[in-house]
Structure 1
Amino acid sequence: MEIVTSADGTPIATRTTGSGPTVVIVNGALSTARDAQEIARAFADIGLRAVTYDRRARGDSGDAAPAEPLREVEDLAAVIAASGSEASVIGHSSGAVLALYAAGEGVPMSRLFLSEPPFRFGAGDPAADLTERLQALVDDGRPGDAVVLFQREGVGLPEAFIEQFRASPGFDQVARLGRSTVYDVLVTQRTSTPTAAMLGVSMPVTILRGSETMPILVSAASRLAAAMPDAEFVEVPESIGHRMDPEATARIVAARLT
């Protein structure tokens, strides 16, 4: 593990696997760099250098109040700069939203891969006060309740699924990421409809979508592809249930970088 210092002084924990063209992996909600190790190894096995990192308020990375999406943009910029080479970026879920937001803000990246970004295009956005309610739960020492609220209102998961997950052995570990839900809601609210700067990024963009995923993600990928006519759209049959298949994704990325 290595520590990169972001623009505001916050430490960001990174991990590097393999050698070759560099790809920075930006995780989605309720995950850390360790959750990306399987795909990082798949990238390394196919001849890529994978850089994973704990997004702000997760894992071994730090945080600073108040929560602000532009701090996450600065974090990604710092990770790319510290990679020591020209880097491509692949983001998954809210990580894809963050990656495209960062590209629109001018963060340099040679190529961008967007896996199932949950753009809502202004339809069915969560309540405007969701971030405040999430932060209040975290401040009250109830990060697990923040995770549940995020799953219920931020993602829209069925109540039965939420209750089953809450009763599972892994819930306590995920509950530690309660503060990170504030960031995920902030960045997806701010860019529910991608800005002109995001849609007009200059680097090549590939939009990835699994064959079996949530309807909102199918719609989001189609609408984003239509709004970015120069972007490439790739359906990945092996990616099921809003999860990037490591080997299939690695093949797609490597074919465009090597």
Structure 2
Amino acid sequence: MSHTVISHDGASIAYDREGEGPPVILVGGAFQFRAFDPATKQLATALAKRGYTVVNYDRRGRGESAHDVPMGLHETLADLRAIVAELERIHELGEGVALFGNSSGGAIALAAAAHGLPVTAIVAFEVPLGAEQGSDGAEFLEGFRERAAGDDADALVEYFMKDMPPEWLERSKGSPAWPLMVRIGPSLEADAESLAWAQSAPHAELLGSITAPTLVLVGDEEAPDGMRPAADAIAGAMPHAERRGIRAADHAWQPDEMATTIADFLDEHVAR
């Protein structure tokens, strides 16, 4: 059953909630939303069966959440705070929530924790961070915003995908999913901004204050270029983080295996 919460600026954020137990919020990366992402739905159901309250939500600009609203990182973090406040109201939370961040959603999850969201644990999969204090993230964000101000919606998504494997873009443009990807293109601003934020200061300065237990995952079969160094950098910058491999290829994971990995980690680190 779909629920809604109203964010700080009046934007309506839609979400599903499954299960009973300590709360976990699934933070999607680029192009993910509930009607377009069956794997995360399967993950939510499997994780709920392990004894967790799981929130799978449409980020602003996607699915049933508000469109035609500001979509930067500030707003995206505020939406997470609104969901947490709603969970507190419903479940009388104690310590906070766990976060699972997929790809650029992992950067958003890290930014949320660094900016004070009450977080009990974090699991992040293949966060595509650039080099520490590099300028490419800020340059990419600037280019994205320039194109977002234009009137070529296809070009905006093409630009966002320009550094991904070329076959990903070719496959996307040739699929029935392309119009949906183009429609949510403006919401990719938060993804781009989160990656620029992750280069805005030394990793230890940005992430070192996050004391929540953190599991940084990367595919042990195959991972896109740069994912393993990024995982090592994140784990090395945080006081209670570890890096592990998981069966994954082409930047994608298996829902049941991911649910088991997350639940086993949370069982160890999150109080009930």
Normalised to the residue count of structure 2, the TM-score between the two structures is 0.84
Q: In structure 2, do the counterparts of structure 1 residues 49 and 67 end up closer, same or farther at CA, with 3 Å as the change threshold?
A: closer
Structure-1 residue corresponding to 2:244: 234
**Structure 1: segments with no counterpart, 5+ residues:** none
Structure-1 residue corresponding to 2:105: 95
Task: Indicate which of 53, 59, 75 corresponds to 1:71.
Answer: 75
Is contact 1:151–1:157 with CA below 8 Å preserved after alignment? yes
Count residues with an aligned counterpart: 251
Structure-2 residue corresponding to 1:185: 192
> CA offset at residue 185 of structure 1?
1.1
Q: Distance in 2 between matches of 1:215 and 1:124?
A: 18
Task: Indicate which of 210, 215, 226 corresponds to 1:206.
Answer: 215
Residue by residue, what CA displacement relative to the aligned partner does 1:181-234 show, whole Å, maximum 9, x if unpaired? Answer: 222112211223546243221211111111111121111001111222431222
> CA offset at residue 115 of structure 1?
1.4
Structure-1 residue corresponding to 2:124: 114
Over the aligned positions, Cα root-mean-square deviation in angstroms equals 2.0
Is contact 2:97–2:121 with CA below 8 Å preserved after alignment? yes
More divergent stretch after superposition (19-28 vs 96-105): 19-28
Task: Indicate which of 175, 185, 197 corresponds to 1:168.
Answer: 175
Match for 1:107: what amino acid?
L
Structure-1 residue corresponding to 2:136: 125
2:9 is equivalent to residue 8 of structure 1 = yes
Normalised to the residue count of structure 1, the TM-score between the two structures is 0.89
More divergent stretch after superposition (3-12 vs 226-235): 226-235
Is contact 1:134–1:150 with CA below 8 Å preserved after alignment? no
Structure-1 residue corresponding to 2:59: 55
Task: Indicate which of 138, 153, 158 corresponds to 1:143.
Answer: 153
Match for 2:49: what amino acid?
D
**Structure 2: segments with no counterpart, 5+ residues:** 268-272
Report the 3-state secondary structure (helix = DSSP H, G, I; strand = E; otherwise coil) of the residue aligned with 1:215: coil
More divergent stretch after superposition (32-41 vs 185-194): 185-194
Match for 1:55: what amino acid?
R
Q: In structure 2, do the counterparts of structure 1 residues 226 and 11 end up closer, same or farther at CA, with 3 Å as the change threshold?
A: same
